[in-house]
Amino acid sequence: MFKQILGKLPKKPSSAKFWDNGESQAPPDNNTQGGDDVLSHRSSNGDNLAVEVLPRLKDVSISEKQELFLKKLRLCCLVFDFVAEPQRNLKEKEIKRQTLLEVVDYVISSGNHGKFPESVIQEATRMVSANLFSNPQWKNKTPEASGDLEEQEEGSLNPSWPHLQIVYEFLLRIVASPNTDAKISKKYIDHTFVLKLLDLFDSEDPREREYLKTILHRIYGRFMVHRPFIRKTMNNILYDFILETGKHSGIAEFLEVLGSIINGFALPLKEEHKLFLTRVLVPLHKLKCLPSYHQQLSYCVIQFVEKDCKLADTVIKGLLKYWPVTNSSKEIMFLGELEEILEATQLTEFERCMIPLSRQIAQCLSSSHFQVAERALYLWNNDHVSNLVRHNSRIILPIVFPALEKNGSSHWNQAVKYLTENVLKVLSDTNPELFEECLRKFQEDQQNADDAKKKNGETWRQLEEIVASMAK
């Protein structure tokens, strides 16, 4: 990604002036005063400011580079309005873009030149804050759902991305650089900085969220002192999403970062981590927008079960609590996640929840939506799940048998009927005596139901005759 950005940099400077590089034109004569290379422009807040046209870092001596680098960082603190006046200050915007590219390249190429001094870290975080946290011009404005998809996609893209992309790249590089001293940096990349960074995850621009996800992961790994605060803040944002708003653009990215964090949890799991599973991850299944983040959520939940198999019972009962009733696509997601959880579930934990779980699977088998019934039948293709069922067949088979038998005889979809026949054959071969017992019980129940239906029909017929005779 960054090579593509740097590819736009000129290979050779045509002069000592930064703007004179063949890509942007020199500023008009009325913007220069005397012998000073100064370019006047108006910032996004309406103030008149001056942009000093600085020489390139590679054109100055080593002793002057650091001071020049600091000047370039200060220059990049100026924020332009890309929304109200996108065509204004084009030359100045290009100067800033080129300067941003240059400071990123300086961080990358710093190599083994020693740790960055505190003044560099301070100016770097000030520049990042000015561009990311002090730019209120653009707000997430997605057009109405009735509009064209193309318009919706354009509406969700940040117009200031030509600058912001490089600022995010700079922040990523400065955080990950071996020349960045974590002890010094934590004074400036503090709780306030991290909190504002987490707030940016609600951006509708997917490019911005992707950068934020990578940067947050780097900060979490680099600054151990911030880890509890980051987890607590993310918990609070997710609580607000679950209990209050139900709207947030960055839930999938949050969960992707959390998946890596959970993967690194030490055993035995702390109580706060188990509470996070039961109070945040499991309730996230009830939201209408689950499809947008289900893959990441499922990964987080399975990580917990793999680390502590005793949590399987809690997770499965949580899924059953929030199991969708009228949304078939969500049911298919739940069944897929359930299979992965069962693969990591031991027999003892399975036995604690197998009765309500079997009832729910029986309902899925009876679903008129063929994909739901089909996905439930695929559970028997999993060797571990089949083994769990086989060990508890005397309890599970009587619960699911009626649904299987009805599918095999009367389901409208041929694929479901074929899969059902295969499952019934497996169950019959596994325990023939129990299978025959369940079949007899099913036939008796069917006969009783038919008799009751006939009796009710006869009762209604007699009532109708009595009403008719009274009417005469």
Q: What are phi and psi of 139, to 5 degrees?
A: -125, 155
What pLDDT does 147 receive?
42
Higher pLDDT, 242 or 78: 242
What pLDDT does 93 receive?
85
pLDDT of 467 higher than 50:
yes
Predicted TM-score of the model (pTM): 0.82
If you average pLDDT over residues 4-31, what whole number do you get?
37
**What pLDDT band is residue 38 in, cutting at 50, 70 and 90?**
very low
Q: What are the residues whose beta carbons fall under 8 Å from the beta carbon of 298, sequence distance 6 or more?
A: 333, 336, 337, 340
If you average pLDDT over residues 79-93, what whole number do you get?
78
- Dihedral (C-alpha) 413, 418, 423, 424: value to the nearest 10 degrees? 100
If you average pLDDT over residues 107-121, what whole number do you get?
85
**What pLDDT band is residue 4 in, cutting at 50, 70 and 90?**
low
If you average pLDDT over residues 398-420, what whole number do you get?
91
pLDDT of 140 higher than 70:
no
pLDDT of 229 higher than 80:
yes
pLDDT of 160 higher than 50:
yes
pLDDT of 30 higher than 60:
no
Q: Where does 76-222 have alpha helices with state H?
A: 90-108, 118-132, 149-155, 161-176, 182-185, 191-199, 206-222
**What pLDDT band is residue 284 in, cutting at 50, 70 and 90?**
very high
Query: Range with the lowest mean pLDDT among 42-56, 227-241, 295-309?
Result: 42-56
- Taking a C-beta distance cutoff of 8 angstroms, is the pair 366, 373 a contact? yes
Give the DSSP per-residue string, 129-160: HHHHTS-TT----PPPTTS-HHHHHHHTS-TT
The number of beta carbons lying within 10 Å of the beta carbon of residue 459 is 10
What pLDDT does 188 receive?
94
The number of beta carbons lying within 10 Å of the beta carbon of residue 256 is 22
**How far apart are alpha carbons 195 and 452 in whole angstroms?**
66
What pLDDT does 78 receive?
87
Q: Where does 241-378 have alpha helices with state H?
A: 251-263, 271-276, 294-307, 312-321, 328-343, 347-365, 370-377
**What pLDDT band is residue 409 in, cutting at 50, 70 and 90?**
confident
What pLDDT does 85 receive?
73
Give the orientation angle of helix 251-263 with respect to helix 206-222, to 10 degrees: 30
pLDDT of 11 higher than 60:
no
Higher pLDDT, 148 or 323: 323
pLDDT of 119 higher than 60:
yes
If you average pLDDT over residues 196-221, what whole number do you get?
94
- Taking a C-beta distance cutoff of 8 angstroms, is the pair 396, 379 a contact? no
If you average pLDDT over residues 292-314, what whole number do you get?
95
**What pLDDT band is residue 356 in, cutting at 50, 70 and 90?**
very high
Q: Which of 114-118, 129-133, 251-255, 429-433 has the highest mean pLDDT?
A: 251-255
**What pLDDT band is residue 33 in, cutting at 50, 70 and 90?**
very low
Q: Hey, CA dihedral for 142, 144, 145, 149, is it positive or negative?
A: negative
What pLDDT does 50 receive?
56
**What pLDDT band is residue 43 in, cutting at 50, 70 and 90?**
very low
Q: Report the percentage of the chain scoring pLDDT > 70.
A: 84
Half-sphere exposure of 242 (CA within 13 A, CB side): 17
Among 387, 375, 297, 374, residue whose Cα is nearest residue 342: 387
- Taking a C-beta distance cutoff of 8 angstroms, is the pair 362, 399 a contact? yes
**What pLDDT band is residue 5 in, cutting at 50, 70 and 90?**
very low
pLDDT of 28 higher than 70:
no
Between vectors from CA 113 to CA 111 and to CA 118, what angle results, nearest 5°? 110
**What pLDDT band is residue 166 in, cutting at 50, 70 and 90?**
very high
The number of beta carbons lying within 10 Å of the beta carbon of residue 4 is 7
Among 83, 205, 84, residue whose Cα is nearest residue 153: 205
**What pLDDT band is residue 206 in, cutting at 50, 70 and 90?**
very high
What pLDDT does 135 receive?
59
The chain-wide mean pLDDT, for the chain, equals 84
Q: Tens of pLDDT along 184-202?
A: 999 999 999 999 999 999 9
Among 354, 374, 353, residue whose Cα is nearest residue 364: 374
